[in-house]
Amino acid sequence: MIRRGLIPVLLVIVCALLPLALTSGFHFNLVIMVFLAVIYTVSLRLVLRSGLLSFGHSAFIGIGAYASVLLTMECGLPFLVSFLLAGVVSAVIGGLVFYPALKVRGAYFVMMTWGVCEVFVAIYKRFQIFGGTQGIWGVPAPEIFGFEFVGKIPYYYMAFILMLVVILICYRLEKSRFGLIVRGTATSEELSVSVGVNIAWYKVTNFAIACFFAGLGGSFLAHYIHLVDAETFGWFFSERIATYMLVGGGGSIWGAIIGASTLSLLHEFWRGATEYGMLLHGGLLILTMLFLPQGLVSIPAVLKRRGISLKIFSSKKVAGNGAS
Amino acid sequence: MALLEVRGLTKSFGGLVAVKGVDVAVEQGKIVGLIGPNGAGKTTLFNLVSGFLKPTSGKIIYDNKDIVGMKPHDIARKGLIRTFQLATVFAPLTVLQNTLIGLHLGARVNTVGDVFAFPTVVRRKSELNKRAEEILKFLDLLTQKDELASNLPYGYQKCLGLAVALAANPRLLMLDEPATGLNAEECQMMMERIRAIRDQGITVLLIEHSMNFVMGLCEWIFVLNFGEKIAEGSHDKVSQDEEVIEAYLGEGWSLK
Amino acid sequence: MENILQVLLNGLQMGLLYALMALGFTIIFGMMHVVNFAHGQLLMIGAVVAFTLTISSGLNYFLALPLTILIMAIIGFLLDMTMFRRIRTNIMAQIVLSIGLGLVLVNLALIFYGLKNQSIGNVFPGTADFLGAHLSFDRIMAMGFAVIFILALYWLIKKTRLGRAMRAVQQNPEAAALQGVSVGWTYGLSWALAAALAGAAGALMAPIFPVGAAMGYRPMAFAFVTVILGGLGSVPGAVVGALVIGFAESLISTFAGSQLAWGAIFLLAVIILIVRPQGLFKGYI
């Protein structure tokens, strides 16, 4: 029986060594996109932990992208500075947008975030500083301390490291006192307030942190594909990330990771045979929700309940879909 | 010295006046009872004092400061902690986690240090764990510390609610029906515990229906009926007050 | 300088169609508290079915219309029976499942209906002109039917047993069940009704607008915003909301471009959700 703790280490080693085995640019791109998907999904999950399903995450990825592009191209700031500032800008705007909406819950929150998403897209399209409907092309490659990103490998490792950092911080945040209280506020606001928890502060900060990571991801994306296009940051993108998270299983960070990696890979494969691919994708969403409402990550637990134990994993209590 | 003083407190919901011109004073270090038939406005009074509801008029003076209009979490920060009539817990979390959230106020844990596992923070967290376990031990919940709160029977959940409240380091602890749902033996234990809490210097204001409980425990009692205060005093005085007896006639005391 | 009457008439006409869309959504989401992100695709399927019946099968439009509505009602009922019944209480699951459903519907349409993007063509050729504005007879017909369906729905909800059952389940499913209301049937029939309304809107749009697999997205967006504006669960609210949006879209598009119209409408929805989530009209209608 493989010890559960060994699996992440093995995965990290495999991913670190993967570039030796990959040959085509297509494959590199695939894996980089998976890393990005994991970053988006894991950061979205932070918001889910506070009891809210957000369909506006792409807005904050977009803010990061546009901010980084404008800071490098218009203000001439070095990449690393723009990259980090992009995260900060996204976090600040995220907090500002979220704060007045604290009282909005459930499906209304979903709709609201979706609206916010589309408002930002409309703004990008309308104003020339964001490139209008054409977007901004020719975004420069990152340059860190004189080292310019050429070929796929630098992007690969940056995405990989960024993903690891995001996963680690989100994981530790979850286990921290801060994370526990956020979970508490999602569960019972009354009780939290009665022991002095300032719910607004915790929820807004939590949301801002999620937006920070989204912004970093957006910045990387922009400098990787060398363009920003308003339409990409619309509702569809948010919806994809949300489905990655919920299909994988919102109850644990592994759910987000598994959902993001498997579904984004599937998505890339479908690109060719679009209709049939998307048909299957849709079918997958439907079937998962009907038969595995806790997500893919609950497969071992479900199988165990039905008497089949997968000997390689030890089962773990999956406590709900993360937001009750 | 009155730790809590309520003057002329009134709360109306549209046409319905739930609390009408109530004056209450809770002396520091005492166990004070708030009784009255169902619908008398007791929980509403709790909600008003703890900031969960805004009064229509009147003053609430806690520790010599008027706290009307303060946010409930700020009021809790000042040491005014209330429990809920219906057992309220963080259901998907363990008993220990529930208590740890209660310790939020005194935690002094830096989140960045928490995330990056600084040794000072790790030490502090283990101190908090110990404190949480002390509280659970006091309430006989220690053996269940890793059990999910939702799996506990109702009575234990109410106990857990009390644990969470105690963890928040109260100066004034407001208990809403702490004995409801407990059998005679458990009631006795609860009375002991509340006395022990009082002996640690915590002032207790409690709502209860069980007359034995209130009479056996409370050093001063306020009686509400239809939102108004109809009597106050020691248990001898109150149990012989005519208006009080009349208010309860037909309602039925719960004699245990 | 655009003819203001034309702009208003366009707004009215679109508003009525949006109202039909929104009503289906109001019933399912506002009243029955079921989230269905695929509602716009039901409109699209309705249009595609109508197209197939009239163009490919040569059926008379006035036979195709009721047939389409019937087919859509059955589809709606089946969707509830097979899928949504199992996740009545789980909103997250409904969200994801309906997104999946939307994908399935759109891509089924792409596969079987293809990339066509054309309207059925005129049922009543010609236009009515007055005061410099013109409205094609098809649009007038669409508006007429929309009004009829809206009134019929209002009657159904207020006066019939099903309507009462729906309102009862909306307020308290358990109490309704105890009163003898068959909750399962109520959901099933509500779904049938909602799908029928969406399909009707699609079929009515078929003579006027191009019928393509992608035609369901915008109506979905408008349905959401309408329902938010008008207040969830309120039929008159949804109608008024839809008209307001129809007018607003027409006006803003004409004078400031459709990009801004979109953005402005979404912004309005966001603000309403924050400030007055019960909708603008609740309490007044």
Task: Name the pTM for this structure.
Answer: 0.88
φ, ψ (nearest 5 deg) of residue C100 = -60, -45
A128 touches chain B (CB under 8 A): no
Confidence of residue A321 (pLDDT cuts 50, 70, 90): very low
Q: What is the pLDDT of residue C8?
A: 84
Q: Give B197-215 pLDDT, tens digit per residue.
A: 999 999 999 999 888 889 8
Neighbours of B126 (CB within 10 A): 10
The CA distance from B57 to the nearest CA of chain A, in Å, is 23
Please determine, for residue A229, whether its predicted confidence score (pLDDT) is greater than 80: yes
Tell me the angle at which helices C217-230 and A106-126 cross, rounded to the nearest 10 degrees: 120
- Give C98→chain A minimum CA distance, Å: 7
* Coil, strand or helix at B71: coil
Mutation target to probe the C interface, by most C beta carbons within 10 A, among A41, A111, A126, A134 is: A111
E-strand ranges in B14-109 read 16-27, 31-35, 57-62, 65-66, 80-82
How far is Cα C63 from Cα C49, in angstroms, rounded to an integer? 12
**pLDDT tens digits, residue range A139-151?**
888 888 888 888 8
Interface of A with B in 186-245 (CB under 8 A): 187-188, 190-199
Beta strands B228-233 and B57-62 are unpaired
For residue C222, give the nearest of C254, C264, C189 by alpha carbon: C264
Identify which of A271-280, B80-89, C212-221 has the greatest average pLDDT. Answer: B80-89
Prediction ipTM score:
0.91
Model confidence band, residue A311 (pLDDT cutoffs 50, 70, 90): low
Tell which A residues from 90 to 119 touch C, by Cβ distance under 8 Å: 100-101, 103-104, 106-108, 110-112, 114-116, 118-119
User: Å from A190 to nearest chain B CA?
Assistant: 8
pLDDT(A156) > 90:
yes
Residue A124: closest CA among A115, A135, A114, A116:
A135
Cβ contacts of residue C177 below 8 Å, gap of 6+? C183
DSSP state of B210: B
DSSP state of B208: -
Q: Are A193 and B105 in contact (CB under 8 A)?
A: no
> In whole angstroms, what is the distance from residue A220 CA to residue A160 CA?
11
pLDDT at residue number C281 = 58
Q: What's the confidence (pLDDT) of residue A245? A: 93
In whole angstroms, give the CA distance from residue C214 to residue C115: 9
Residue B53: alpha-carbon gap to chain centroid: 16
Query: What pLDDT is attached to residue B249?
Result: 64
User: Whose CA is closest to A55, among C106, C84, C273?
Assistant: C273
Which DSSP string do the residues of A153-194 spell out, in sequence order?
A: HHHHHHHHHHHHHHHHHHHHHHHSHHHHHHHHHHH-HHHHHH
Test B104 with A194 for CB contact under 8 angstroms.
Answer: no
On the question of pLDDT at A237 being above 70, the answer is: yes
C44 Cβ contact list (under 8 Å, min separation 6): C105, C106, C109, C202, C211, C213, C214, C215, C216
pLDDT at residue B254 above 60? no
pLDDT at C234: 75
- Report the distance separating Cα A26 and Cα A16, nearest Å: 18
pLDDT of residue B252: 52
Contacts of A183 in chain B (CB under 8 A): 90, 92-93
The 10 Å Cβ neighbour count of residue A253 is 23
Which residues 300-319 of A are in CB contact (within 8 Å) with B?
319
pLDDT of A232 > 50? The answer is yes
Pick among C94, C270, C271 to test the A interface (most A CBs inside 10 A): C270
Interface of C with A (CB under 8 A): 29, 35, 83, 86-87, 90-97, 99-108, 110-111, 221, 224-225, 228, 259-260, 262-264, 266-267, 269-270, 273-274, 277
- A185 band by pLDDT with thresholds 50, 70 and 90: very high
Give B125-142 as a DSSP string.
Answer: HHHHHHHHHHHHHHTT-G
C182 Cβ contact list (under 8 Å, min separation 6) = C165
- The model's confidence at residue A309, banded by pLDDT at 50, 70 and 90, is low
Average pLDDT in the A247-257 region?
91
C44, C106 in Cβ contact below 8 A? Answer: yes
- Which of A52, A53, A286, A288 to probe by mutation at the C interface, max C CB count within 10 Å? A286
Can you tell me which residue has the tokens 């990339």? C115
Closest to B158 measured CA to CA, from B98, B213, B101, B203: B98
**Local confidence pLDDT in tens for the 285 residues of chain C:** 457 888 888 888 888 888 888 888 888 887 788 888 899 999 999 999 999 898 888 888 888 899 999 999 999 999 999 999 888 888 888 888 998 999 899 999 988 888 878 777 777 777 777 776 777 888 888 888 888 988 888 888 888 888 888 888 878 878 888 877 788 888 899 999 999 999 998 998 888 888 888 888 888 887 888 888 777 777 788 888 888 888 888 888 787 777 677 778 788 888 888 887 666 655 544
Task: For A33-80, write each residue's pLDDT tens digit.
Answer: 999 999 999 999 999 999 999 999 999 999 999 999 999 998 989 999
A-C CB pairs within 8 A amount to 127
Average model confidence (pLDDT) for chain B? 90
Chain C residues closer than 8 Å to A132 by CB: none
- CA–CA gap between residue A6 and residue A21 (Å, rounded): 22
End-to-end CA distance of chain B: 33
**Which pair of tokens denotes residue B36?**
């009255």
Residue A87 scores a pLDDT above 50:
yes
Residue A272 has what pLDDT? 66
Q: CA–CA distance from B30 to each of A193, A317, C200 (Å)?
A: 25, 45, 71
In the predicted model, what is the mean pLDDT of residues B103-132? 88
H or E stretch covering A249: none
Q: Which of residues 164-183 of A touch B (CB under 8 A)?
A: 169, 172-173, 176-178, 180-181, 183
- Residue count (chain B): 256
CB neighbourhood size of A153 (10 A):
12
Average pLDDT of span A249-258: 92
C-alpha distance from A298 to closest chain C C-alpha (Å): 15
Q: Find, in chain B, the residue whose alpha carbon is nearest to that of A168.
A: B115
Asked if the model's pLDDT at residue A247 lies above 70, the reply is yes
Q: Determine how β-strand B220-225 pairs with β-strand B228-233.
A: antiparallel
CB-count exposure of residue A74 (10 Å: 0-12, 13-18, 19+):
exposed
Residue B84 contacts residue A208 (beta carbons within 8 Å): no
Residue type, C198: A
For chain A positions 46-65, those within 8 Å of chain B (CB to CB) are none
Nearest alpha carbon to residue B226 among B205, B204, B244, B206:
B244
CA distance linking residue A85 with residue A81, whole number of Å: 6
Closest Cβ–Cβ partner in A169, A181, A187 for B104 = A181
Q: What is the pLDDT of residues A91-132, one digit of tens each?
A: 999 999 999 989 888 878 888 898 899 889 988 888 888 888
Q: Residues 255-284, chain A: which have Cβ within 8 Å of B? A: none
**Cα angle for residues C48, C54, C57 (degrees, 5° grid):** 100
Which pLDDT tens digit goes with each residue over B33-71?
999 888 888 999 999 999 999 999 999 999 999 999 999
CB atoms within 10 A of CB B208: 25
